[in-house]
Amino acid sequence: MERNRETDGGSKLPFVLLGAAAVGVASSFWFSLVKDTVPEPYLDEVFHVGQAQRYCAGDFFNWDPKITTPPGLYIFSYAFHKVIGGCDITSLRSINTGALLAAYFISTWILKSLHPTWNKRNLGHTAANIALFPPLFFFSGLYYTDVASVAFVLLAYYRFLKSRERGFGNGFDVLGAIVFGLIALAFRQTNFFWVAVFPAGLAVVGVATNAGVGQEKEDEVEWDGDISLRFEQIFKVAKEKGVVYDPKVENALAEDYAMTALSIAVIAVLKLQRVIPAVFPYTFLIASFGGFVFWNGGVVLGDKSNHEVTLHISQMLYLWPYILFFSFPITIPKVLSILTGTRQTPTSLPRLIAMAIVSFYVAVIVYTNTIVHPFTLADNRHYVFYVFRILMGNPAMKYVAVPVYVVCGYIAIQTLGGYSTSKGEEKRKFNNAIASRLFSFDKSTPVVPERQVESGRSKKQIKREEREKKRIEEEKEKTEEPEALEVQHVGNDSTKVSFVIVWVITTALSLVTAPLVEPRYCILPWIMWRLHVPSTEMKGGSSAESKEESPAEKKEESEEVVPEDGLLQRWLRVLQEDSTRLALETLWFCAVNAGTGYLFLERGFSWEQEPGKVQRFMW
């Protein structure tokens, strides 16, 4: 135990600083390349730089009508100019380089609050990967609103988490939520959903979760197995005991999401006197934003004709391949589980009929709500142009993408449930199952450990012994401290269904109102998703380590006849480790950043209508 404390305490500073150094070096290198190759404002920078320089000159009332976002970035640039004395394009771009580093540090604070059991290596590495996220990292070298906007949204979210930890009753927390929320809104209007709607929803969940009578909690309630009866029970338990129905994502089926929403709604109504103070700062922000929209005559400033609010449900379909494209290294265990037909958790692929129903509705959305903004197919400088050229090139192609949307959505949500690995034999069974099913058409044969086959026992006897062994392990786990678990999700690290509901609703509200499809619009939904993806490596050890064993445990382990893993099984085990997946995610992000950076800097082209002017590929 002492060794674990020393390792944790000793590694805290180096890993966080190492991540900061990596992000700082990468962003500074990118900033330098852009400065040398693109010394003049490019694309939207023309408007942003011009407006910022007017602010630096003290001209606060001359507004460029082409700019649709609030003046937060320019006000910040004015303050920055007063400190360093520079307002040229290089100085202005450096603001986002610094903002990316700030976003990294704030991400470490958020991760520490969300996942207190994480080891510091995973914490720093995950935060670094968030900063290296390609659509975010790219704009750290340019003068756009995205990076600084993200930093302030993350700061507002961190303040919400601290407020939740203190029970929503601290006046300083209320003031902080309002101040940081207003600052974030001053950068981008769409931040409204992430600094007001998102925390308001989570605050309601927080109040509902802590509304139980006495010490009774959700996991102490015997929920009925019959769905219709369980709905009735949920209402009764919520009303009488204030206990919310909120299972973990990895254990949840489709109906559990409806049950969770019902349970939270009932408790929120019954505990309204506690809900109102918790959501007050966010209702204030909602009211403030509503007042702005009324005063402005719309959401956007400047050019309103090309940015009208539109019901664009298909935006939610594009989100799922977006997440899987960037984060496939993190989803590897879940994908392996699906491809091989194995069950890592009680949650498997939805029933065939449910998948068919979802696919049908997705196809209806594609048919009725595929909106292509004029800008999308008119500007070949953006990658979305090429994606939509493929989707719209053949009338059938957009329907071919339907199963892709469904499967990607399922994997993304299930990844929030984490990858709960177990110790010893159970983990080996799962790896063997994957290995055998990847190369075998027979997926019904159970994987039996070698030492059981050699014993000549009957299948009935083996099953009986396995049930008894499982019962003993469950009893043992109840008496053990969390640190005694080797590689399992413990405490609050497993994402609950309630978070998925709030996150999906917030994401939908922020995306479906935008007619234009842009990768930048999905940055915040991805970041919030990534922050909540659980880890399998906890403080006090990693998946390769466990606490110091007693002599009796060592003796028992030495007497066990354990078969050696094959090469494939060892590779599968490596792929399941957080350190591997984080490293693969880093390599993938670096590859994407290098590729998009090269295209932007070195593969310029020209348009006939603008001869001599270099056009560049970008997000």
Region 605-618 average pLDDT = 90
Instruction: Between 348 and 28, name the one with better pLDDT.
Output: 28
DSSP 195: I
**What's the mean per-residue pLDDT of the chain?**
81
pLDDT reported for residue 319: 97
- Name which of 18, 137, 151 is nearest 590 in CA terms: 137
Task: Kindly tell me if the per-residue pLDDT of 363 is higher than 80.
Answer: yes
pLDDT reported for residue 45: 95
- How many C-beta atoms surround the C-beta of residue 292 within 10 A? 16
Which tens digits make up the pLDDT trace of 191-201? 999 999 999 99
**At 615, is the secondary structure helix, strand, or coil?**
strand
12-19 — which CB contacts under 8 Å span 24+ positions? 12/120, 15/120, 15/121, 15/123, 15/124, 15/125, 16/105, 16/108, 16/120, 16/123, 16/124, 16/127, 18/124, 19/104, 19/108, 19/124, 19/125, 19/127, 19/128
- Name which of 408, 367, 407, 374 is nearest 388 in CA terms: 374
4-13, 107-116, 338-347, 407-416: segment of lowest average pLDDT: 4-13
Under the banding of pLDDT at 50, 70 and 90, the label for residue 458 is very low
What the block records as the tokens of 36 is: 């040398």
pLDDT reported for residue 302: 72
What CA–CA distance (Å, rounded) separates 174 from 276?
Answer: 12
Which tens digits make up the pLDDT trace of 293-339? 988 888 888 776 666 778 899 999 999 999 999 999 999 877 877 66
Task: Kindly tell me if the per-residue pLDDT of 591 is higher than 90.
Answer: yes
pLDDT reported for residue 605: 92
Task: Kindly tell me if the per-residue pLDDT of 374 is higher than 70.
Answer: yes
Region 503-508 average pLDDT = 97
Task: Kindly tell me if the per-residue pLDDT of 495 is higher than 60.
Answer: yes
Which tens digits make up the pLDDT trace of 99-137? 999 999 999 999 999 999 888 899 999 999 999 999 999
